[in-house]
Amino acid sequence: MKSFLQQFLLQLRVENKSINTIYNYKLSLNDYLSFLFEVFNVENVKHIDKIHIRTYLRLLSKTGSYLYKGQAKEKIITELRIKIEKKQSMSDITNLESKILKIEKPLSPKSIRRAMSSIKIFHKFLLFSNFTKLDPSSNIELPKINVKIPDYLNVEEIESIFNNISIVFGNSEFKKRNLAIVYLLYGCGLRASEVCEIKINNIIVENFKNEGFLKIPGKGNKERLVPLLGRTYRNLNRYLTFDRPKYAKKSKSDEVFLSKSGRRLTRQLINEIIKISTVNLNLRITPKPHTFRHSFATHLLKGGADLRFVQALLGHSDISTTQIYTHMDKKYLKSVYKNHHPRS
């Protein structure tokens, strides 16, 4: 069955999926196919059934991975196979599965959903490629997950951070660079990884307007355009004009943000910049780079921006991801309801 996995991974490459995405599919599906072979003796994808998938998902919820280590593995596989072949009750199978709890840490519902997503996409590929005639993964319910509402900073806290940057970095030679980075995190809603990866040719400047766009290569090799306006544009331009040329002399790197030695910045350094930028501030939360992205989306929506517009700026492929931000401010939600509902 591994040959089908190889063909699936090749298809992902054709679709220009990122290396990390392909690697994660490979890990997840290797685990799944090993389970099918060792527990059920399934050697052909045509013989995969719903009970196989459901049993695998239950194991994940208890063990975290099928490919655990230890001498107990072979014994548990044998016992599990016998019980399933004898069509014993689910309670018997569950009791056996519980033995594995001492070996592996269980996966969270979110991780199980991610694993199941890989399985579903794999089976759709098999069906579409005419390797199978049925999709055994269809109609299998996924575990429910509690959506965590992201933390965000209010406008006053954002202002205090920008004011604090001038204090904590003082006369530092990195002051302009660090200020430009924080402005891009909040003013454009960029991920820390995207800030690190921005190249000079990603900046589109509109002549004589002191504004432009950023062309962002986001997740899955998808590009999006983000407006570069006002203070965000001005602070980025100051860094590019006065400081970056000094760092660029030491390397041929075309990334926008460079270290003193001319190397591309890392996400760890972005984290450190945020940590220093918020020192001695009495904030409700401890901000991370992604907190500024959450704040960017929240403030746009509170200001009346259309949900689809915010989705495009953030680069979300699914609008349900963007909708999380509509639940973040209870006071705002109440005010919208009172002002617009006829029976409020």
Nearest residue to 53 via CA among 72, 71, 31: 31
CA atoms within 13 A on the CB side of 192: 17
Per the residue annotation, which of 219, 224, 234, 263 is the catalytic one? 219
For the question of residue 316 being annotated catalytic, the response is yes
Return all residues near 289 (Cβ < 8 A) that are at least 6 apart: 185, 191, 192, 195, 267, 270, 271, 274
Active site residue 294: no
Residue 13 a catalytic site member: no
For residue 41, give both structure tokens.
């003796």
Query: Is 177 labeled as catalytic in the residue annotation?
Result: no
267 is catalytic: no
Is 219 known to be catalytic?
Answer: yes
Kindly name the residue from 17, 123, 177, 191 that is annotated as catalytic: 191
Give, in degrees to the nearest 5, the angle at Cα 129 between 125 and 135.
55
Contacts of 130 by beta carbon, 8 Å cutoff, 6+ apart: none
Contacts of 7 (CB under 8 A, 6+ apart): 129
Of residues 17, 176, 293, 294, which has the active-site annotation?
Answer: 293
Enumerate residues 6+ apart whose C-beta is below 8 A from 223. 215, 216, 217
The active-site residue, picked from 52, 123, 244, 316, is 316
Angle between the N-to-C axes of helices 230-238 and 175-187, in degrees from 0 to 180, rounded to the nearest 10: 150
Phi-psi domain of 221 (left: phi exceeds 0; alpha: psi -120 through 50; beta: other): left
DSSP secondary structure string for all residues of 85-103: HTT--HHHHHHHHGGGGGT
- 286: Cβ contacts below 8 Å, ≥ 6 apart: 278
- Is 155 buried (19+), middle (13-18) or exposed (0-12) by CB count in 10 A? exposed
**Which residues are part of the catalytic machinery?**
191, 219, 290, 293, 316, 325
